[in-house]
Copies of this chain bind each other. A is one copy, B any other.
């Protein structure tokens, strides 16, 4: 449970725990040690104690390297020490490559030596058996007592290509290191992290930092991501996760990354039932609801990828750091058919295939008489014959189209060196003259041709559809970073959160009936009808006399949750007298059926008609704490599962975005001549509910408002029924 942070100074924003900054600084020792001890160093470069030593020797690492092995004086040509404490100088980082049963003692020696951080490769801990779990716990205790941070156990380590520190035994670097670059990779799975590194090397994608967290005895994925989000050398964070353990830290990492314009691309697996089952057995961690992860990522502008391939495609596209200023995509093509396909893809991924202005279209026609000119701009095969065609068309599209991004499909023509040269000439200077436009080429050609265009500042994708998908992702990041004139995510700013009364006490939440729940929520600003609790029939009659007819009656008891089951609800009473009669019958009937229940009387309410029935509520996610749900009522929730989620707290802008996400949003906009619903009021209610739930997150287990009736615009919305369930003792 990691959502137990106190309110920050701005009111209700979560922040990382006290002392987090100092602890985070120690993670730096994982990535940038000045001296490294390798405990269990081996001469065999294929062994886990041998490979990292080889890597460190070959990677240009400038720090001190101290092999530790009691049986040898020299390992891989380096002077070797029998134990850590025999090492003469300071040791920033220890890499532990020992059998599981020797690890705890080695870490104790490291802590005694004053080592700042340790990477434990060894398996045989919590993932294996009870004995392993005990060892892992001992390991954590050493970390907590000494302040030494620990990565692993059961991990593949970390590397930092900026300094040449390569503290991993992944085979992915066997055939060569990757280049340093603005992409960082953080993975809970070692194999997956290694696979990503291999693919990056193959595609010529540079990686700065790379970290795998394994069993996460101490350092977890969230903290690693937060460190990376704060690192000035990181532009893109690629994350692979099976189960987030520290929800608050994770959200803080997302918040920091967004605030500093860093793109996070994430593959969170365990989406399906079979996947979740496998993830649970693989990690042993409680993953929480996938829909909540999904909401968290959407809320904080993370691109959630569905595959390894997508993960790298998007990271590659973002690494250049050009985020388009609008969603308009200009499509150039030498194949009309592929142009159509890219237009379809743009629509699918939410880009706008805006037409080229008329004058620009005439300009294109002047260059290529039979060209398609609207958008896609089909320069036809003529482009392959005339050197100047592509350059001239491109210039027209860039200078007159006002496109935030451009994609140009060129088949496999650049595989022919002459053609590649021609294109390269045509693109001369374009990157410099239009620095704000994201320019993406799609063609199939040998790697050296691709690298040549990449080095000149162009992105290259073999598949046109994947090119468009990646462009759309960069445009989404633009929105998230506030670089777009269009609808933009706004970072959570406490000054925009509605203010609510201070947090409740435990006793205020005991024995709540419907009226009590409504009173608490009303105090938080959630509008209720003018209802009255009446003790008996005569009080009902006078209460009803003061209301517009018809009225509704509901039994009030903290012991009766399903009021209809005891005939505790009567609707549509047309006179105060009828209301009094019905109340008398209801009270008698309920007393008979439920003699045990505390009856507090009858709630008299005016009937609320002509609105759209919605529901909202709050539940506690084991990872992320209070989560707000919203949907249309009735079958929309039950059959269509047309609901959406947000982590609490959030402001009205986020709430409005949330409301727009449901498939049935059109119903709120008004159908069949019905007026539009009061969406502004609805958004305000959801935001208030989120703040209320967050402020009382330790005490409230669940809130249900069903129905929340949203009236026509200007007429508000009303919680017709409400339930607040406190955390049980």
Binding site for B on A (CB under 8 A): 123, 127-128, 171-172, 174-175, 187-189, 191-192, 194-195, 198-199, 202, 240, 242, 267, 269-275, 277-279, 281-282, 306-310, 334-341, 343-348, 353, 370, 372, 374-376, 378, 381, 411-413, 415-416, 444, 462-466, 635, 638-640, 663-664, 666-667, 671-672
Contacts and interface: CB of A to CB of B under 8 A. Distances in A.
A338 B195 contact: yes
Nearest to A329: B274
Contact of A191 (B127, B174, B334, B348): B334
A468 to B, nearest CB: 9
Given A308-B464, A375-B274, A416-B171, A282 B343 contact: no
A199 B275 CA distance: 33
12 contacts: A123-B370, A172-B412, A188-B337, A199-B412, A269-B344, A275-B344, A278-B336, A278-B343, A278-B376, A308-B338, A310-B465, A635-B671
A272 B339 CA distance: 12
A701 to B, nearest CB: 26
B341 A195 contact: no
B272 A335 contact: no
Contacts of A347: 271-275
Contact of A639 (B174, B346, B374, B667): B667
A344 B271 contact: yes
A638 B672 CA distance: 8
Contact of A411 (B191, B343, B411): B191
Contact of A272 (B171, B343, B462, B640): B343
Contacts of A128: 370
Contacts of A267: 341
| Interface core residue of A198, A269, A340, A341 (most chain B CB under 10 Å) | A340
Given A344-B270, A639-B671, A664-B635, A465 B335 contact: no
Contacts of A275: 340-341, 343-344, 347, 353
Given A340-B242, A639-B666, A372 B278 contact: yes
A400 to B, nearest CB: 18
Contact of A341 (B199, B269, B381): B269
A723 to B, nearest CB: 19
Nearest to A195: B411
A434 to B, nearest CB: 22
A464 B192 contact: no
A192 B337 contact: yes
A302 B310 CA distance: 26
Given A273-B347, A306-B465, A282 B337 contact: yes
Given A278-B376, A309-B465, 9 more contacts: A171-B413, A198-B444, A199-B412, A269-B337, A274-B344, A278-B340, A281-B374, A282-B336, A640-B640
Contacts of A309: 462-463, 465-466
A308 B463 contact: yes
A420 to B, nearest CB: 13
B336 A277 contact: no
Given A635-B667, A638-B672, A192 B344 contact: no
A279 B189 contact: no
B353 A411 contact: no
Contacts of A202: 444
The 9 closest A-B pairs by CB, nearest first: A189-B337, A272-B347, A191-B335, A307-B465, A274-B353, A639-B666, A275-B344, A275-B343, A192-B337
A590 to B, nearest CB: 23
Contacts of A343: 272, 274-275, 277-278
Contacts of A375: 274, 278
Contacts of A277: 343, 374
A608 to B, nearest CB: 20
Nearest to A377: B278
Instruction: Tell me the number of copies of this protein.
Output: 2
A638 B666 CA distance: 9
Contacts of A638: 666, 671-672
B466 A307 contact: yes
A282 B340 contact: yes
Contacts of A348: 271-272, 306
Contacts of A192: 335, 337-338
B372 A281 contact: yes
A466 B309 CA distance: 9
Given A279-B340, A639-B666, A639-B667, A411 B240 contact: no
A213 to B, nearest CB: 12
A172 B309 CA distance: 26
Contacts of A635: 664, 666-667, 671-672
A632 B402 CA distance: 43
A321 B442 CA distance: 32
Contact of A370 (B127, B270, B278, B639): B127
A196 B463 CA distance: 11
Contacts of A413: 171
A463 B174 contact: no
A122 B346 CA distance: 32
A644 to B, nearest CB: 15
Contact of A242 (B189, B270, B337): B337
| Interface core residue of A123, A240, A308, A370 (most chain B CB under 10 Å) | A308
A381 B191 contact: yes
Contacts of A194: 411
A240 B337 contact: yes
A97 to B, nearest CB: 14
A341 to B, nearest CB: 5
A191 B338 contact: yes
Contacts of A335: 189, 191-192, 195
A188 B336 CA distance: 11
Given A347-B275, A353-B274, A463-B309, A282 B639 contact: no
Contacts of A372: 278, 281-282
B189 A336 contact: yes
A90 to B, nearest CB: 34
A640 B412 CA distance: 42
A198 B353 contact: no
B198 A270 contact: no
A518 to B, nearest CB: 25
Contacts of A411: 191, 194-195, 198
A120 B338 CA distance: 22
A432 to B, nearest CB: 30
A449 to B, nearest CB: 13
